[in-house]
Chains A and B, each alone.
Chain A
Amino acid sequence: MAAPETSTAAVPTLYTNNTLRNAFGGVLSFFILLLIGVMAFSIRLFSVIKYESVIHEFDPYFNYRVTQFLAKNGIYEFWNWFDDRTWYPLGRVIGGTVYPGLTLTAGTIWWLLNSLNIPLSVETVCVFTAPIFSAFASWATFLLTKEVKGTGAGLTAAALLAMVPSYISRSVAGSYDNEAVAIFALIFTFYLYIKTLNTGSLFYATLNSIAYFYMVCSWGGYTFIINLIPMHVLLCIVTGRFSSRLYIAYAPLVVLGTLLAALVPVVGFNAVMTSEHFASFLVFIILHVVAFVYYIKGILSPKMFKVAVTLVVSVGLAVCCAVIAVLIALVASSPTKGWSGRSLSLLDPTYASKYIPIIASVSEHQPPTWPSYFMDINVLAFLVPAGIIACFSPLSDSSSFVVLYIATSVYFSGVMVRLMLVFAPAACITSGIALSQSFDVFTRSIKFQLPGISSSMEVDAVETSSATAEAQNDAVKTEKSEETSKNRPSKKSKKKEKEKEEKPSTKAKAEKRLLALPLDSSVIFLLLLILLGAFYVVHCVWAAAEAYSAPSIVLTSRSHDGLHVFDDFREAYGWLRHNTDVDDKVASWWDYGYQTTAMANRTVIVDNNTWNNTHIATVGTAMSSPEKAAWEIFHSLDVKYVLVVFGGLVGYPSDDINKFLWMVRIGGGVFPHIKEPDYLRDGQYRIDSQATPTMLNCLMYKLSYYRFVETDGKGFDRVRQTEIGKKYFKLTHFEEVFTTHHWMVRIYKLKPPKNRIRGKTKKSKSKTSSASSRGKRSGTGKKNPWQ
């Protein structure tokens, strides 16, 4: 909200003295930016204030664990870290399979603070990394938008980004995930690209490659950059906007960027070998061809040029065909056609659900729903179209980039809910442009029509009129100051462009007056816009405080008798940490792998880094098998404990029973004896008395509902809103060792193989009675606290 005020606040402070005014504006915008940064940081602290300073969710726990390792052992050990506590018994080479950007960033911050004798714990640094970087991200947004449409738009966009819910959802304090720094890196890379494009400076081009390198270090989403920028370059070429600035903006990025990207172990040769990167190389070639053509055109006479063109086109076509053939052959030779599964599911949204259940199963890989757009970007959704229109008047290199950015990111966000995060900055930038332009228009209209000041305002109004012109001015100014002798032709052309721009704008001076809107409607619209902005702020603060600040390891619920806190996860992990052997293996669905290794410090079979589908399928198969078969699978993996998450007692919906069909699908994908229809009754997933016998006898059902009927006597599942199908049963191969307070996590131990093997004759009565009495005895200890 600060940004709109700037343009209104700037109005009364206008002086005829331009430099003083600029200086004042500069100082003001500096302070506004500072405040935006403070706001971006502080709006993300709700989670710390409402809950506590903890790491959130799943992936952040892994990052936290890696950061701890880095802080303790140094970068070389981190680089070569072979982790034997996950993916047992395969292990995982952490150093070569993580994007190290986030870890290195937080590690560096921690090291820096410690060497300054500020003894913060690694956890604190990790918790606050994301809010700090969201402040950086909003400043980067300011820079980018300023390059495109001037300071006013920049400030508005920065303010919008600082509190856009979509970004808040991934960067609240404690949400220590790659995206936290990656969004900053993404915007900053784009800014440097636009900056290079506007200035044609090799210095910025180099910085751009380094920013790109940081992005590659941080997040797999860097492929978005390396595809979007080539697309923009191609767009510029096609629309006849080729210039040496474009060349400087792009060619060093591809060469240096690819070299740097190949240095990141997790990317390595992928930087030149996978299809995600092919577009950049293709455009690189095209760019050179185009540059060459321009060069030839310059030294040949028009007639000769025509001859040369026909010659080159015929030869070029042949070469192109050959190159394309080679490319196709290369692509076809790789099994997935050179595309990774996640990227393929981007291009074909139905790909994942058809072929890769493990990708489709991740909730953040699902397509978003319409309400989630309103939730995540709120009023920006209405401002974006206006912003796009604003970008077209007039269309410059940089504004065409913004248009391209928003168009592609809208598509991607529609495919995968996670990529809403990439869309959010684009939406903020365009909305910022839209807001600031409309404020411009309305305030100008008011200014022209207010009696008294209109005459003196006229000149100033013209000067502030076109934001693009201003941007161009800025660009030229920086060019003057920074560039000395290089790029003379481009500078000249720039000057010419500038003159061209100036001329129509002076002509427009007279027309502007006529274009002004009526005073009353301007005022009303201005008020409405402010109202819209206010609504946005209210929504963002609400989203930050209520919707996105839950750490998901601690849950709360408000009921008529007050606030309930569900701290079952930490209770369970704490139990594991203190009551099991250091080398014991814990099996659970992969969602809880990272947390188990980080919080319980126990070896897990699978975790959230879903690199080995077969291993996950093995666990899925075990969970969907009957007890004995499951025991055999787990025993062959040396598993000692099995952990299941069960929400039926308190109504926690994302429990293992609700995820169970994915286990069946993923397991069945590798082990065909697990068939999904066996678990469904007439295509319906149910756990009540109508459920199939396979379902009622599978391990997941048994481990979830073991002794559940003892809580309320009926076995009523509050998530599925039904009574369970099989209420009284015993476990033969597993024994319950721990159930948390609200039954949300249940831990079972594998029974050892029997010491003796019984004969054939039926079991005696005395034995069974003693066993059942034992069961009852242990059962009385736990009672449902909520019945």
Chain B
Amino acid sequence: MGKLWAISIASIFILLPFLGNAFSPESPTDRRVLVLLDDSAIKSSHSIYFNSLKSRGFDLEFKLADDPKIALQRYGQYLYDALILFCPSVERFGGSIDLAAILDFVDSGRDLIIAADSSASDLIREVGIECGVDFDEDPSAMVIDHIGYAVSETEGDHTLIASDDLIKSDVILGSKRIEAPILFRGIGHSLNPANNLVLKVLSASPSAYSANPKSKLSTPPSLTGSAISLVSIVQARNNARILITGSLSMFSNRFFRSGVQKAGEKTKHEKSGNEQFLTEISKWVFHERGHLKTVNVKHHKVGETDEPALYRINDELEYSVEIYEWSGKSWDPYVANDVQVQFYMMSPYVLKTMSHNKKGVYSTSFKVPDVYGVFQFKVEYQKLGYTSLSLSKQIPVRPYRHNEYERFIPAAYPYYGAAFSMMAGFFIFSFVHLYSK
């Protein structure tokens, strides 16, 4: 299945992520976010997180999840560019929001942050399932780790976990290393390994398991070890980004500020890694990092500047494309050495890594293969954490015209000679035969 999706082909130059999405390359700033809460107390208890978003220019609108007036869209226009669901226990949203509305919201390219906890309702679980995340089905289960727990004043049930098993990606987590472990208390979820859209950002340690902390374990837990994901991100095919976590409290001011010491470790960090981790990852979710765009796809024959309607076999051509990355404020040139272009007809006839000038212009030149047909210039760029680029541009390649072949082939001179000498011979013979008598 994954392989199939990878072969995403479009007839002409399409950039799926940009078609009427919230994150538009034209006006990427000034974004409206709807935050749905179970309880208005969360607004103050999680204020550090919300303030960090506001300080980055987001326009947050807080509503209770069962507010009868809430709506995601009006007159077919979405009112928000992102949605934060900090309402784990909600059974029914108020207003016009339901499961399908949230999924349509995501499918329109808008972003979503979901935080569940041990009281997660079926509705929240279903949103997770639709996005490819399976929360532990046991409603009373929490993630327990008797080795990787966070040391605290009261010896508890080891459900407060200090985890530092992070994904290694600068795009997702920022270039600054997260030193302190991240505090987590909540439910775990698992991912389908075949699902290539979802990524495990923070995973539990191998000693963790998911079970009801209050009762004795009678059967082996269904989720164990590092198969448990604590925080996952999803990048949908239209590049909508989703953050899913099983812990609402990890966003709280208390977790942000508290110090952390992982059991069995000496070092006690003054401050948990939560703030850095969640802020950085929210930058990724809200497209402030890792969002690429391509512009100015050009191709032409070597020595010309105009784009031809079709090429001839064995033409020399040049192909160039500009790739930029959104930095949160402006489009900066994207610099990488692994962007490849294919000259493709059912299979790539040419596959070349493009060189760049550090200003975002990637270019290469190659010779059209000696095969005619309808080719495509394809750039399929999928890199961890970045939006996937999928460009294809159709271009026919024709064979030689009748007058483009070599006119006189040196190897054929004996035959030319034979033909002409034959004609001359025949003429002489006829002449002699007719007039000799």
A interface residue numbers (CB < 8 A to B): 76, 79-80, 82, 84, 88-91, 93, 95, 581, 583-585, 632, 635-638, 640, 753-761, 764, 766-767, 770
Contact = CB atoms under 8 A, between A and B. Distances in A.
A619 to B, nearest CB: 14
A84 B238 CA distance: 30
Interface in B79-109: 98-100, 103, 106-107
B126 A764 contact: yes
Given A632-B4, A759-B131, A766-B100, 8 more contacts: A90-B373, A91-B372, A637-B346, A755-B236, A756-B197, A757-B132, A758-B130, A759-B195
B100 A88 contact: no
A513 B236 CA distance: 102
B28 interface: no
B12 A761 contact: no
B180 interface: no
Interface centre among B11, B98, B394, by most chain A C-beta atoms within 10 angstroms, is B11
Interface in B325-367: 345-346
Nearest to B10: A638
B5 A84 contact: no
B100 A759 contact: no
B248 interface: no
A636 B240 CA distance: 25
Given A89-B375, A754-B237, A757-B197, A585 B130 contact: no
Interface centre among A95, A755, A766, by most chain B C-beta atoms within 10 angstroms, is A755
23 contacts: A80-B401, A82-B399, A89-B374, A89-B375, A90-B374, A581-B12, A584-B11, A635-B9, A636-B9, A754-B237, A755-B107, A755-B238, A756-B103, A757-B132, A757-B198, A758-B130, A759-B132, A759-B195, A760-B129, A761-B134, A766-B100, A767-B100, A770-B100
Contact of A758 (B11, B132, B346, B401): B132
B377 to A, nearest CB: 13
Contact of A89 (B4, B133, B346): B346
Contact of B99 (A93, A635, A757, A764): A764
Contacts of A637: 346
Contacts of B131: 756, 759
B246 interface: no
Interface in B100-156: 100, 103, 106-107, 126, 128-134, 137
4 nearest A-B residue pairs (beta carbon) = A82-B398, A84-B396, A759-B129, A89-B374
Contact of B130 (A76, A632, A756): A756
Interface of B: 1, 4-5, 7-12, 98-100, 103, 106-107, 126, 128-134, 137, 191-192, 195-198, 234, 236-238, 240, 310, 345-346, 372-376, 394, 396, 398-399, 401-402
A637 B238 CA distance: 22
Contacts of A755: 106-107, 236-238, 240
Contact of A80 (B129, B132, B402): B402
B11 A638 contact: yes
Nearest to A90: B373
Nearest to A771: B100
B2 to A, nearest CB: 9
Contacts of A758: 129-130, 132
A79 B137 contact: no
Nearest to B234: A756
Contacts of B137: 761
Contact of A761 (B5, B129, B399): B129
A89 B100 contact: no
Nearest to B109: A755
Given A759-B132, A767-B100, A91 B11 contact: no
A429 B139 CA distance: 92
A775 B391 CA distance: 33
Given A93-B372, A635-B7, A770-B100, A759 B394 contact: no
B312 to A, nearest CB: 9
Given A82-B399, A585-B11, A759-B133, A635 B4 contact: yes
Contacts of A756: 103, 106-107, 130-132, 197, 234, 236-237
B336 to A, nearest CB: 25
Given A84-B310, A753-B5, A93 B132 contact: no
A459 B132 CA distance: 105
B19 to A, nearest CB: 11
Nearest to A89: B374
Nearest to B9: A638
A637 B7 CA distance: 10
A636 B344 CA distance: 12
Interface centre among B137, B240, B394, by most chain A C-beta atoms within 10 angstroms, is B394
Contacts of B106: 755-756
A640 B192 contact: no
A89 B236 CA distance: 29
Contacts of B197: 756-757
Contacts of A636: 7, 9, 346
A45 B132 CA distance: 65
A638 B310 CA distance: 19
Contacts of B98: 766
A584 B14 CA distance: 13
B88 to A, nearest CB: 17
A764 to B, nearest CB: 5
Contacts of A89: 345-346, 373-376
Nearest to A77: B401
Contacts of B346: 89, 636-637
A88 B9 CA distance: 14
Contacts of A764: 99, 126, 129
Given A636-B7, A767-B100, A91 B373 contact: yes
A759 B134 contact: yes
A761 B191 CA distance: 11
Contacts of B4: 632, 635, 753
B131 to A, nearest CB: 6
A82 B372 CA distance: 9
A93 B399 contact: yes
A93 B313 CA distance: 13
Nearest to B11: A583
B134 A82 contact: no
Contact of B11 (A80, A581, A759, A767): A581
Nearest to B242: A756
A757 B238 contact: no
B237 A753 contact: yes
Nearest to B312: A82
Nearest to B344: A89
A708 to B, nearest CB: 29
B45 to A, nearest CB: 30
Contacts of B402: 76, 79-80, 95
B156 to A, nearest CB: 30
A82 B192 CA distance: 47
B192 A759 contact: yes
Nearest to B103: A756
Contacts of A638: 9-11
Contacts of A585: 11
Contacts of B399: 82, 93
A251 to B, nearest CB: 15
A583 B7 CA distance: 19
Nearest to B133: A759
Contacts of A640: 11
A767 B9 contact: no
Contacts of B11: 581, 583-585, 638, 640
Contacts of A632: 4
Interface centre among A84, A585, A754, by most chain B C-beta atoms within 10 angstroms, is A84
A583 B374 CA distance: 11
A760 B100 CA distance: 18
A781 B4 CA distance: 34
A720 to B, nearest CB: 34
Contacts of B238: 755
B237 A759 contact: no
Nearest to A81: B398
Contacts of B7: 635-636
